[in-house]
Structure 1
């Protein structure tokens, strides 16, 4: 079926989904409507030609026995020849708009909760300024390829030393097969003045990635045992609902500033080693010794090089961005930090809960500033920002807004400033089960996060209206 023969109807536009933050040029109606679908919107598939795919995987076939390889070639050709083109899910004018945007080299189109169009030179300048201001150093004289090859050797050496404790199968899975370099990109914070950049490092496929994932699975049971630990928004809503308050208590959020790049590596390793030595169940998870685990962690943390715009950078302090082991190490360190902090303060808060770098605290009003100063005095690297409840007695935390009502707490769903309410377009080329799952999860979220039925009902009506407006049946 050709796209020219399909009738396309446009559902009501989803407001503020496309942010042309620097007004590069006016977007045409087709460009804006196309971008409103979001960067995760898959255009309906085209037919994949056998001549284009078979040569690219011929090297795989050559590693197989000749009879088996020929059988697989025939099966692959049969599948490719039986393909049917998908029903077009964008209008011809939108496909032309897509091709036009692809050819504009002076802009960057990135995503968050919105699709953001930025001037490319300004985007590069913002990210480079962030790197210049942070704990990063440019590396000169060595290519990223040579650096990653050296890192591959380091990881391989570490794994070879423990092969007897891993077993051949697991050793092969963890051994780095490639030397893909981690790459940094920036997500614009469009709800803040001057649109600052939040850096993200994609380390998938880099030499230590699989080893870091494996070690993180060993360490994860060490976390979540503290009274300060919050698992997710649902855990928080369940714990906070109906919590009694004293008249002189207020809601406060103390957030760790740039947590990952400020966690002291040596201290995090020291706390981790102490917990591993005390863990009586460690032998059930791995045959590696504590020293071997700690050495593996050290190797992963030292592999903190990444590329941005062809320049190689090194992260000079903190936990390596983009490493699967960094979140669990951060939790281990922060749980230890919190226990020391709470035990040492003369009048500890009634409630102190943390999720990653955000905390929810119930504390005496007169102690707010002194407790904030106390937290910031404990370690020269770990600093906290502070947000106090609004004049109406509300405070956002995770996906909830916490309300003070009649001496108790209740929660409703919080829509963050960055949340444009984007929902996957119903014309996307996803299976229908995906849309059903999206709708189900939206209603399930409301039921779990709203304490009172009246708030639940209002939020469900809002969701139903929103889905209807954007074309959901």
Structure 2
């Protein structure tokens, strides 16, 4: 299945091609190779697993006041001519034509997150993100041109800080007057603060995880003087999605004061596992009894 996913948060709305290899002839082989190669990925010093680790790394950096922070990202439009041949399989399109990918792997393949690409010869990979953040005092345009001269099918866009601020992943990086790098949660302009609504037919634990995951992101990404503002924003947006104020405040307190959570009354001996179909306001009550 061939999907064209638009990046609506970027100028000119570029397309992200995605090819699902599920039930394809080579999917099992790709999954096996992905398991083998996974042990060898992320072993470089430049590898960044997630935003939390990224924040830890930039907290140790001190820049010169003349430095600038810049991010580079692989563009999608320049390699569109080769992306018309978009799969490591032969794919039948709606026009009845077959196409074959001639380089790298598309999103949707088990090998995509672990397979080394040509991009690695140009810049270190940060997790699954083909982008690199650096600080440069001069010669930005020269360096950008050098990147783009290495391979015709691998071209980079360059984003320079605005008012000493630059987004990277879901982190807003700020260059402080003392040369340190501040950090807080970043949301794309297209973000609407819509999360899993409490009226949806989901198990209560899944709804609680929405609150917990957002609070976890806030506490791991935000520097201390930015945390309170972020938590206030979360309380407002979560309440707009139907979550009650008490549940949100309790989750925040558990996160900020983990030692105060009383777990002495919880059972510790494992008895058995019960699998129940989800029925709203029934399954969760039965699970508590069991």
TM-score range, shorter-chain basis? 0.7 to 0.9
- The equivalent of 2:31 in structure 1 is 213
Question: Is the aligned partner of 1:362 residue 2:149?
Answer: no
**Equivalent residues of 1:228, 1:335 under 8 A apart:** no
- The equivalent of 1:464 in structure 2 is 235
Q: 1:193 to 1:367 in 2, by over 3 A?
A: closer
The structure having more radius of gyration, on CA atoms, is 1
Distance 1:194 1:371 in 2: 25
Q: 1:196 to 1:303 in 2, by over 3 A?
A: closer
Secondary structure at 2:104 match in 1: coil
Identify the match of residue 123 of structure 2 among 330, 338, 344: 338
**Equivalent residues of 1:402, 1:411 under 8 A apart:** yes
- The equivalent of 2:168 in structure 1 is 397
Identify the match of residue 114 of structure 2 among 328, 332, 336: 328
Deviation at 1:242, TM superposition (A): 4.5
Q: 1:213 to 1:239 in 2, by over 3 A?
A: same
Deviation at 1:423, TM superposition (A): 0.4
What is the alpha-carbon root mean square deviation over aligned residues?
A: 2.7
**Equivalent residues of 2:123, 2:132 under 8 A apart:** no
Deviation at 1:328, TM superposition (A): 1.5
**Greater helix percent: which structure?**
1
Please give the TM-score of this superposition, normalised by the length of structure 1.
Answer: 0.46
Deviation at 1:325, TM superposition (A): 0.8
Distance 1:378 1:198 in 2: 22
**Equivalent residues of 2:73, 2:156 under 8 A apart:** yes
Identify the match of residue 309 of structure 1 among 94, 103, 108: 94
Any stretches of 5+ residues in structure 1 without a counterpart? 1-182, 265-300, 340-351
**Equivalent residues of 2:19, 2:87 under 8 A apart:** no
Distance 2:90 2:167 in 1: 35
Distance 2:139 2:101 in 1: 36
Please give the TM-score of this superposition, normalised by the length of structure 2.
Answer: 0.73
Q: 1:207 to 1:464 in 2, by over 3 A?
A: same
Question: Is the aligned partner of 1:252 residue 2:70?
Answer: yes
Deviation at 1:373, TM superposition (A): 1.4
Deviation at 1:455, TM superposition (A): 0.8
Q: 1:236 to 1:203 in 2, by over 3 A?
A: same
Which residues of 2 match residues 412-451 of structure 1 at below 5 A? 412-451=184-223
Distance 1:362 1:393 in 2: 12
Identify the match of residue 200 of structure 1 among 15, 18, 35: 18
Which residues of 2 match residues 401-412 of structure 1 at below 5 A? 401-406=172-177, 407-412=179-184
- The equivalent of 2:258 in structure 1 is none
Q: 1:194 to 1:370 in 2, by over 3 A?
A: closer
Report which structure shows greater RCO (CA 8 Å, sep ≥6): 1
Report the count of equivalent residues: 238
**Equivalent residues of 2:67, 2:135 under 8 A apart:** yes
Deviation at 1:462, TM superposition (A): 0.9
